[in-house]
Amino acid sequence: MIDFKGLKQIYFLGIGGIGMSALARYFRSLGIKVAGYDKTRTPLTDQLEAEGIVVHYTDDPSRIPKKTQLVIYTPAVPSDLLEYVTLVLMGAPMVKRSEVLGWLAGGMKCIAVAGSHGKTTTSTLIAHLLHSSDKGCRAFLGGISKNYGTNYISDKKPEWMVAEADEYDRSFLKLFPDLAVVTSVDPDHLDIYKTKEALENAFCSFISQIRNGGHLVIKYGILPDAELPENVIKYTYGLDESADFHPVNTHTENGIFRFDLKTPGKTMKGLTLEIPGLINLENATAGLAVGWLTGIQYENLSLALADYKGVVRRLDLKYKDDTTAYIDDYAHHPEEIKACILSVRELYPEKKITGVFQPHLFTRTRDFADDFARSLEKLDSVILLEIYPARENPITGINSTFLLDKIHHPDKVLCSKENLVNEIASRQIEVLLTMGAGDIDTVVGPLVDLLTHSKQ
């Protein structure tokens, strides 16, 4: 383990990543000099620079600070990146983001939220509940909290650390939490795991690492045979009434959920959740279960939940007027896309939904093409962008035309990202939905401007 107290200069390879930037903010808060490389300038990297972190965007080893004592990198960084190769040849101390997160978690009581999807909304809510109570937390989040405008939250005397436990590259196996949450185990990252069974086995290994005397909060019905460590207590949550934690007496008013929560103790009554979608009601149930287990008082839970504003790019309402709405979402897995579309359909049951999807990764598109097609067919109109490659090289025959051909829909089209605004301008939009984990967020601003000016 590295003594972080003795560090004066840290360098990040891939600093613009959502998990990497949270760590960068943490070390900057300690007074350590932080610098880093990322291939793309984004609003997030602009924020890092405004906070005093030095960021550059060209693969240039001469930009690496000479007094660097530690290099933190993400597995998404390609091994042939010149800066990466140079640092390896120099023998610089290099560690993955997941290792650093594991070291930090080892010194605190830790809540780790894992799952193929749902973990960002759930972990952000948990952090908000703890921050709003007398417990306090230090949280490393996989999205930007709308309540705090950041992915890193830290109280002066945090009782808990909240971390997203990322299954990619088996990163979550670096964490040994006191309280683990598992939201879903839908197949993903088959470039790493190869099979659904291998992915589920990894989640079981994660569960086996819960500390003695800890707790598991897991969605009802998944991994029923997972073995628990000694003295670990399991609780289930979900919309199913058989779950230990589940909502009852649920109704909606203008997209706002009002409900009671059945717990193993008394029922929590009169709860309010202002972010839409049944998937978010389910995520909120998981968050409230954690709040209950950590001893947060009911009054604090109720007030904090009512004040929870959600996460940027999670069913994120970007524009609304009397006739038109625009929602942006990070959905990049078939199950996430299906849940997203159904949630939007709940909000606007009588309106036509025009959906724009940017596939993320060639391998994910190849492995789940049929599932993507079935989910996208739930839209009224489908606009498909080219695949965002991220860390991957192209795969012969795997492109957006390959996916488009599998979508059985009378209203589907392939469009370049550069021409998307013109494509939307040519249509009569009732509800616009953009989805993807790549750089589709760069068109959100132009689309909002288009819709705003079209109404003037």
How do the domains of the chain map onto residue ranges?
A: 4-96, 108-307, 316-454
- pLDDT value for 349: 93
Q: What is the rounded distance in angstroms from the CA atom of residue 413 to the CA atom of residue 380?
A: 12
pLDDT, one tens digit per residue, over 270-309 is 999 999 999 999 999 999 999 999 999 999 999 999 999 9
pLDDT at residue 3 greater than cutoff 70: no
How is domain 4-96 classified at the CATH fold level?
Answer: Rossmann fold (3.40.50)
pLDDT at residue 456 greater than cutoff 70: no
pLDDT, one tens digit per residue, over 7-42 is 999 999 999 999 999 999 999 999 999 999 999 898
DSSP per residue, 148-196: TSSSEEE-SS-SEEEEEE--GGGGGGG---SEEEE-------HHHH-SH
Strands (DSSP E) contained in 31-183 are: 33-37, 54-56, 70-73, 94-96, 109-114, 137-140, 152-154, 160-165, 179-182
On whether the CB atoms of residues 378 and 431 are closer than 8 A, the answer is no
Confidence of residue 165 (pLDDT cuts 50, 70, 90): very high
Average pLDDT, the chain: 95
pLDDT, one tens digit per residue, over 217-264 is 999 999 998 999 999 999 999 999 999 999 999 999 877 999 999 999
- Evaluate whether the domain defined by 108-307 bears CATH number 3.20.20.140: no
Q: What is the rounded distance in angstroms from the CA atom of residue 153 to the CA atom of residue 148?
A: 8
Q: What is the rounded distance in angstroms from the CA atom of residue 429 to the CA atom of residue 116?
A: 32
- pLDDT value for 454: 83
pLDDT at residue 411 greater than cutoff 90: yes
Mean pLDDT of the 361-369 span: 97
CATH code of the region 316-454: 3.90.190.20
Mean pLDDT of the 405-424 span: 98
* pTM exceeds cut of 0.85: yes
Of 129-138, 250-259, 294-303, 409-418, the poorest mean pLDDT is in 250-259
- pLDDT value for 435: 98
- pLDDT value for 2: 61
Mean pLDDT of the 155-172 span: 93
- pLDDT value for 247: 98
Q: How many CA atoms lie within 13 A of 425 on its CB side?
A: 13
pLDDT at residue 151 greater than cutoff 70: yes
63: alpha, beta or left? (left if phi > 0; alpha if psi -120 to 50): alpha
Confidence of residue 432 (pLDDT cuts 50, 70, 90): very high
